[in-house]
Amino acid sequence: MASLSSRFNQYRIMWVLVFFDLPTETKTDTKNYRKFVKGLEQDGFDRFQWSIFMRHCPSMDNANVHIKRVKSMLPPKGHVCILHLTDKQFGMMEVFLSRKKEDTPEIHQQLELF
C-alpha cells in the first residue's frame, strides 16, 4: 500500500482549469452560457475569473472524470479550453490585482473514503 505522502503530493494532485469565451448575443446563446456555467458549478468548479473556472482533483484519474464531464456539456457555439496542471505548477502561479500581489487561491481539502 502506498504511503499517504506518496499518494497525495504536489506532482499527483491536479488542478483542472476551464477557459471559455461564449457568445451571448441571442436568448439561446445566453441560455447556453448559463447552462454551461451552472454545469461547471454543479461539478465542483469555482470561478477564478469571469470566464475561468478551476477545480482541485486528488489525482489525474479524478481530473479525467471531470474533464470528460466538461466535454459532455460543451455548448454548441463558443470557444472552450481545458487545461490541467499539477499542484506544484499551480502553486507557482503569481496572481495580481491592480499591481498588488495576492495569495494563490485557497486549496480545498479533498476527503477520501476508503
pLDDT of the residue at 99: 80
The grid coordinates of residue 41 equal 458549478
What confidence category does residue 111 fall into, taking pLDDT thresholds of 50, 70 and 90? low
In a domain, 108, yes or no: no
Within a domain: residue 109? no
- 1 lies in some domain: no
Q: pLDDT above 90 covers what percent of the chain?
A: 70
* Number of domain units in the chain: 1
- pLDDT, position 109: 57
Q: Dihedral of CA 96/98/101/107: which sign?
A: negative
Please compute the mean of the pLDDT values over residues 66-70 and round it to a whole number.
Answer: 98
In a domain, 113, yes or no: no
- If pLDDT is split at 50, 70 and 90, which confidence band does 87 have? very high
Domain that holds residue 17: 8-102
pLDDT at 85: 96
Average pLDDT for residues 82-96, to the nearest whole number? 93
Asked if the structure places residue 68 within a domain, the reply is yes
Looking at residue 52, what is its pLDDT?
98
